[in-house]
Amino acid sequence: MHLFNLNNFATRFGIDMTVLDFNNGVTQASQAATRAVASRFRFKDFEPFTNRKDVFYVDRMLGQGNLQHRQLMLSRGFINPTSGFSALYTGNPVHARNAETSLTTDLQRVSSDGRSDYLYIDSEQGLLTTYVVDLTDQWVVVTYSGGLSVASDGVYEGVPGWMAEAAESQTALFLKQSNLFQTEEQEDLTSLRQNLFDLQAAHARLHLAAVPATMSEMGT
């Protein structure tokens, strides 16, 4: 699968895709770049999934008083925050393991009007930030779906611009290692490498203060 349009990439870098060897080279490099970007930015992969369940144990909150908060790092990014999403908490790990909804509290419905201002969802990063509610010694169960759908040309849909740019840079670097794309003049690849480094610093799923999942079920 690809994170960008191959023909647009070829135009950008002056590659003739009507030449079979060039076409195959770009295709293979792009596929390798998709895997490399998933690993480098800590997304694991981008395949669609449903009903994944992550369980967290929150040992303490951060901040003070009503300003307390905590972040939870889901196992996957690019989640759907509206369909198939739930976040429940309980003080009993057995209730969490068995997903006993009658014995847990909905983190999104903790105020009297049925609305919640206590959970912020960064769907791209798969990062949840809880506010106000004291989750100390609580187990949080998050069920969610997500991933990226794929168009008929094998390109993922809904890819953010920064990720497409990272994948193009990585693809270009892979191609420069191939004898097929070597030139007599030594090319300076510093800008491509720096671009990747800058994008990784800004968008990698690296949130050191976030609570990782204690248990995770893959779903379907």
Q: What percent of the chain has a predicted confidence (pLDDT) above 90?
A: 65
pTM (2 decimals)? 0.87
Do 138 and 213 fall within a single domain?
A: yes
Say if residue 108 is in the same domain as residue 178. Answer: no
pLDDT at 63: 86
Does residue 199 fall inside a structural domain? no
200 located within any domain: no
- Same domain flag for 19 and 93: no
- Shared domain for 62 and 125, answered yes or no, is yes
Q: Domain count for the chain, please give it.
A: 2
Q: What is the pLDDT of residues 130-161, one digit of tens each?
A: 988 889 999 999 999 999 999 888 999 999 99
Q: What is the pLDDT of residue 135?
A: 93
What are the pLDDT digits (tens) for 88-141? 999 888 877 776 777 788 888 776 666 667 889 999 999 999 988 889 999 999
Q: What is the DSSP annotation of 58-91?
A: E---BSSGGG-EEEEE-SSSSEESSSS-EEEEES
Does residue 196 belong to any structural domain of this protein? no
Q: Is residue 112 part of a domain?
A: yes
Q: Are residues 115 and 211 in the same domain?
A: yes
Whether the per-residue pLDDT at 49 is higher than 60: the answer is: yes
Residue 194 domain-assigned (yes or no) = no
Do 79 and 137 reside in the same domain of the chain?
A: yes
Measured in Å, how far apart are the chain's first and last C-alpha atoms?
19
Place of tokens 């300076």: 188
Question: Do 18 and 121 reside in the same domain of the chain?
Answer: no
Domain range for 161: 6-44+152-187
Same domain, 82 and 137: yes
Residues 99 and 176 reside in one and the same domain: no
Average pLDDT, the chain: 89
CA-closest candidate to residue 140, choices 61, 208, 66, 34:
61
Same domain, 143 and 164: no
Determine the pLDDT at residue 182.
64
Q: Both 168 and 212 in a single domain? A: no
Quote the DSSP letter at residue 155: B
In a domain, 193, yes or no: no
State mean pLDDT over 210-214.
95
Nearest to 191 by CA among 164, 204, 172, 163: 172
111 and 213 in one domain? yes
The pLDDT > 70 percentage for the chain reads 89
Q: Give the pLDDT confidence of 72-88 residue by residue, as tens digits.
A: 999 999 999 988 899 99
Question: Above 90 in pLDDT, residue 65?
Answer: no
Q: What is the pLDDT of residue 132?
A: 82
